[in-house]
Amino acid sequence: MKPNIGILNALCRFIIGYTLMAIATQCSIRRPFSYWAIVFAMLGGMKIGEGTLRFCPLTALFRNGKGRR
């Protein structure tokens, strides 16, 4: 798997991911087992993973032309 995003883009994904994880923590403290806490945690984890691997599946999909009509 080759990296398809740059370092600055990966850094932005880290920041967004950790922000979403903080929001998920706040939501779960206020209301345990909240639907939004789970959604924010999943999105944040996805962004942190993309930043770590420097690979975005959607970017790869659209660069290869398979996502176009």
Tens of pLDDT, residue by residue over 13-58, are 999 999 999 999 999 999 988 899 999 999 999 999 999 999 999 8
pTM of the model: 0.82
Report yes or no on 1 lying in a domain: no
Report yes or no on 62 lying in a domain: no
Report yes or no on 64 lying in a domain: no
Name the region of 61 (left: φ>0; alpha: ψ -120 to 50; beta: rest).
Answer: alpha
| CB contact at 8 A, 24 and 41 | yes
pLDDT at 67: 56
| CB contact at 8 A, 67 and 61 | yes
Residue 68 DSSP label: -
Domain count, the chain: 1
Domain that holds residue 44: 7-55
